[in-house]
Structure 1
Amino acid sequence: MTTQVFPILDKTFVEQLIPQKFPFVMVDKLLLYEEGSVTAGLTIVTDNIFTAEAIFQESGLIEHMAQSVAIYTGYQYFLKNEPAPTGYIGSINGIQIQRLPKLGEDVVTEVTILQEFMGVTLVEMCSTIAGEVIATGKMKTVIAGANE
């Protein structure tokens, strides 16, 4: 296994860390990973399926936040030399969106793991653009088959 240096900007490598595939990939960089937290990013581009009239839509921002959680688990599995598992959103709580990203902006989402047990992960998320908080919330994700 190769030691990764952060940030990881190789989109192909980043895509291997999550189960989603083009055109549903909403993370394009892994900025930081450490035990208990991860920071992922996305540059808003015209051909993103959630970009309409040069604005990244709410559903895309929430999906970006969810994939930022997924990349945490995906990188854990990468470190174990195993494929990224499929996961599902169990619940979303208290999402507050202050503003939507515009074309060309870089969204950075920091995920803090609050609890992780038997394939269920509870996190707190904060998305920013150039240091300005644009969205916050909590999410619970579940790895497929983890409790079977």
Structure 2
Amino acid sequence: MNFHFLDIKKFLPHREPFLMVDQVLTIDDEHVSTCFHIKPECIFNEEGVFNEAGMIENAAQTCSSIVGKSYFDEDDLEGCSAKLIGFISAIKKINIKACAKVGTTITTKAYIKSRLNTDQFTMCSIDCFITEDGKELLSCEINLVIQELKEHSK
């Protein structure tokens, strides 16, 4: 399925200038792939480089989209069936080999390692990798907590 038509802003709570994902390339219950074009006005632009904090935020936003997917109705392409909040509870491992330059596009892939669903929230551990033109820039393991806001419950 082609996900390029999805408006990621309808599924993530972030807004510009803090939105660090442009497009969902692929997504299923265990994996997601996104891309992000680094513009000069990006708030994580540090002397022409997308800094480490920006890369971690891109990874976290990508990771949250896998978990968030399960809260939305399968046919909801507008992000209307749920309203979520999420938090990084831990960054267990991180290896930053290089930072991307402004003007480039990074691809971020994430894979769920473990997941615990409760009535109130979802906790998960996710492996994530950021690449640029096939070169790995970052690898990490992130723990997230995702919660549905009750006023928007299904």
TM range (shorter): 0.7 to 0.9
Determine if contact 1:23/1:48 at 8 Å carries over to the other structure: yes
Unaligned runs of 5+ in 2: 150-154
| 1:122–1:139 Cα contact (<8 Å) kept | yes
RMSD over equivalenced CA pairs, Å: 1.8
Q: Which runs of 5+ in 1 are unaligned?
A: none
- Per-residue CA deviations over 1:16-71 (Å, capped at 9, x if unaligned) read 11111111101011011122100111111011110122110100000000000112
Q: Is the 8 A contact 1:29 1:40 kept in 2?
A: yes
Alignment length (residue pairs): 140
Describe the shift of the 1:37–1:27 C-alpha distance in structure 2 as closer, same or farther (beyond 3 A): same
User: Please, what TM-score do these two structures have when normalized by structure 1?
Assistant: 0.87
SS at match of 1:128: strand
5 Å matches for 1:9-28?
Answer: 13-28=7-22
Alignment match of 1:6 (pick from 2, 7, 12): 2
CA contact (8 A) 1:16 1:84 kept: no
Look up the equivalent residue of 2:26 and give its one-letter code: L
Paired residue for 1:125? Answer: 128
Is structure 2 residue 32 aligned with structure 1 residue 38?
A: yes
Q: Which residue of 1 aligns with 2:90?
A: 91
Normalised to the residue count of structure 2, the TM-score between the two structures is: 0.83
Q: CA deviation at 1:145?
A: 6.6
- Aligned-pair identity (%): 25
Secondary structure class of the residue paired with 2:143: strand
Q: Which amino acid aligns with 2:123?
A: V
CA shift, 1:109, in A, is 0.8
CA distance in 1, matches of 2:41, 2:69: 26
Contact 2:64/2:146 (8 A) holds in 1? no
